[in-house]
Amino acid sequence: MTSVTTMLDQRVSQEGVLVVHKEAGWTSHDVVAKVRALLKESKVGHAGTLDPSATGVLPILVGRATRIAEYLVDWDKEYRAQLRLGETTDTQDVTGRLLARSDPRGITEGDLQAVLTGFRGIQRQLPPMYSAV
């Protein structure tokens, strides 16, 4: 017979929020599937999708903690980006087929800052066709 302590330990260990650093190459679904398999828990989800090429914090919700997902997805987020200037691809990212190349030497740091400033605050945009959204 299973003791109450063992049952409690199993229940507590199966519920909560895991803060996972997602590496490039993994999809958000890959991380969820891995956690499901490791914990043998079917009720696992994430609070926000990261593109497969992105790295960063991916909150993983386990058990009853999945109920708080709607509150976590609206939290403020911070992004860091690496840019490859002067190239256009068919997927709008570095994984796509190169369609055009131009000389980026005329772009100044001030030009970049002006563009990046426009990305602060709430954004409404159409995700690229190849987005993980």
Report the catalytic residues.
51
* 3-state SS class at 88: strand
Strand 16-22 and strand 44-46: the pairing is unpaired
In degrees, to the nearest 5, what angle opens at C-alpha 81 toward C-alphas 125 and 54? 80
Q: Report the residue count for the chain.
A: 133
E strand or H helix that includes residue 36: helix 28-39
